Structure 1
Amino acid sequence: MHRGKFGRAVVALAVIGVAGCGASDSGSGAASPGNGTEVTRVTVGIIPIVDVAPLYLGEKKGFFSRRGLDLEMVGAQGGAAIVPGVVSGQFQFGFSNTTSLMIAQARGVPVKSVVNGAATNGRIGADVTGVAVRKDSPVKSAKDLAGRTVAVNTLRNIGDTTVRESVRRDGGDPSEVEFVEIPFDQMPAALDDGRVDAAWMGEPAKTIAEAQGARVVASPFAETDPRLTVATYFTATKLVRENPSLVKKFTEAMTESLRYASEHPDEARRILTTYTKISGDVLDDLTLPSWPTRVDMASLEKLASLGEKDGIFGGKRPDVDALFS
């Protein structure tokens, strides 16, 4: 967790501990509430960030319980950590950035995306992620990142792939960027202390850094594609095969949640206080992603091509249609 001093802007992402649950590998653990309706316990591996607000909002609004689903959310550092939990049956569903899912599939891991998670809002300079530098930094735009250190939360993943694309599009040499791995919540301090020249931050870290005077010099998601599908909810192909009814219920409830969050952004913003510890000034200022109900296949093909160029798939291009459609 973040240990820097930011005054009122301090944030500690709440990692929800794994509680003992009775769900089986196929998500068939059930309980009977007072009305006699069978309820299925469903464990979802998530990253406790802004992007998953619709999931929590949908739970609060009853979109899952009306379909007989009792959700338990379990926090993790990133999609790469959630994938093994889903495949092993620890989680019935998981939230992951789309590059992590492509990497998994290219390596033969049996996963399947089932519903959209989050997308860029398409606003350069005001997207849900951005590359930030200190106020006094000589870096003025993405091309100036060449020859400098840039923090990302996970190496060889969606962060460095899209940052390279921003540098490339701005006329710089992406091969000269040095990436270092730092958790999102520690990035504002790392940037402020001068341990890195720049940091690719998600929310709320980006807003915290900006409150300290940091400047956003690139918006890699929006610059890669203004409709880029950033993350989705996924499951193991085994669950799709063995319990299609459960997958259908989760997908329907999540789709309703995405639609509701898009139509009620203030409620989506407020739900963040239930699974993160964000001060009021940060909550008011942070940027929300877009929450479309459908993935954008063209943007995912572009992301796959960039990942292939970076060599992160081990020489085997992922089958985007099989994974996301």
Structure 2
Amino acid sequence: MRRLLAGLAAGTLLLVTAACGSSGDSGDSGDSGGSSSSSGTTTVQLGLIPIVDVAPVYLGVERGFYAEHGLKLSITTAQGGAAIVPAVVSGQFQFGFSNMTSLMVAQSNNVPVRAVANGIASTGVRGADFGAITVRKGSPLKSAKDLEGKKVAINTLKNINETAVRESVRKAGGDPDEVDFVELAFDQMPAALDGGRIDAAMVVEPALATIKDRGGVEIASPLVDVAQDLTVAMYFTSGQYAQQHPDVVKRFQEATAQSLAYADSHPDEVRRIVTTYTKIPAAVLAKVTLPKWPADPNRSSVEALEKLGERDGLFKSAPDLDELLP
């Protein structure tokens, strides 16, 4: 298990830690239930990726939703779910945020993760989603089928975005095995596309808005191609923590559900709050296509993602969705 967790975290660096929320102790990590203040507030450690997707949590802290449920969040940001998963399982964090494919890979490898609250979903609208395959201005590539033999950037090999791009290529009548996938951070993709170092890029916001602002063109909506209203990511904890601290998990679920609903109905506040924890310029944020934040995961969409992951060889054994999903 130790070697597996180290492998999940390989190449991923934890970044800045910032405490957020109402009054209470700063809290300690480890595998405790989080620290409690004399007022009854419980501090829990939460691992997030500093992207638009997690705006509801920051709004929930600001609006006092977590405080109302007796929680104070101590937030640590990381480059991706590959670092957050082992941190949650080891007890460094009590909760984390990760895409569904990463969670299914972990679960299929007997890493005890348990999704507890919905994260984000695709808009379900082709050509108007928060993720897309893009090409530079003037590119001869017009559809996903044209990606055969071309260099396509994705943020992580053998993960959700590769699976999604492969499905778009299949649906367009192409052979995904003929695509040359290269790993590149989202924020590096616009420049790589402009410079001709890649032929296409599977990007999410705000890199998508940046590419379009430079004249780039969207040629496919891979998250929509996977499934209608795809559940892309969720908040999770470890199986051990869920068993030992069901009350804290329930309070986190309730506060997060309240935060998701608020974010989904207040897009202007979402765009504002994102500027407080990222370096995304407000001018770019104004053009960003926001994801959806539904209250519950779309199980049928996760099942579709699971089948594609199996087809693409991402799992050593089939993930147990009954065990993973709330």
Q: Same fold (TM over 0.5)?
A: yes
Which residue in the other structure is 2:324 paired with? 323
After superposition, residues 99-248 of structure 1 pair within 5 angstroms as 99-248=101-250
Deviation, structure 1 residue 26: 2.8
1:47 equivalent to 2:56? Answer: no
1:199-219 CA-to-partner distances (Å, cap 9, x unmatched) read: 111111111111111111111
Among 18, 22, 41, the alignment partner of 2:28 is: 22
Amino acid at match of 2:295: T
Secondary structure of the corresponding residue to residue 253 of structure 1: helix
Give the Cα separation in 2 of the matches to 1:151 and 1:74. 27
Give the Cα separation in 2 of the matches to 1:264 and 1:18. 24
Give the Cα separation in 2 of the matches to 1:159 and 1:125. 16
Secondary structure of the corresponding residue to residue 75 of structure 1: strand
Maintained 8 Å contact 2:30/2:93: no
Give the Cα separation in 2 of the matches to 1:180 and 1:262. 33
Report which structure shows greater RCO (CA 8 Å, sep ≥6): 1
Which residue in the other structure is 1:267 paired with? 269
Deviation, structure 1 residue 72: 1.6
1:280-309 CA-to-partner distances (Å, cap 9, x unmatched) read: 220110010010010011011110000000
Deviation, structure 1 residue 141: 0.9
- TM-score w.r.t. length of structure 1: 0.91
Give the Cα separation in 2 of the matches to 1:155 and 1:72. 30
- TM-score w.r.t. length of structure 2: 0.91
Which residue in the other structure is 1:8 paired with? none
Maintained 8 Å contact 1:23/1:41: no
Which residue in the other structure is 2:61 paired with? 59
Secondary structure of the corresponding residue to residue 64 of structure 1: helix
Amino acid at match of 1:50: V
Deviation, structure 1 residue 39: 1.6
Maintained 8 Å contact 1:15/1:48: no
Amino acid at match of 2:16: I
The 10-residue stretch of structure 1 (276-285 or 97-106) with the greater mean CA deviation from structure 2: 276-285
The 10-residue stretch of structure 1 (110-119 or 279-288) with the greater mean CA deviation from structure 2: 279-288
1:31 equivalent to 2:4? Answer: no
The 10-residue stretch of structure 1 (105-114 or 37-46) with the greater mean CA deviation from structure 2: 37-46
Which residue in the other structure is 2:252 paired with? 250
Amino acid at match of 2:83: A
The share of aligned pairs that are identical, in percent, is 55
Deviation, structure 1 residue 18: 6.7
Maintained 8 Å contact 2:34/2:94: no
1:55-87 CA-to-partner distances (Å, cap 9, x unmatched) read: 111111101011111112211111122100000
Moved over 4 A (4+): 18-21
The 10-residue stretch of structure 1 (186-195 or 231-240) with the greater mean CA deviation from structure 2: 186-195
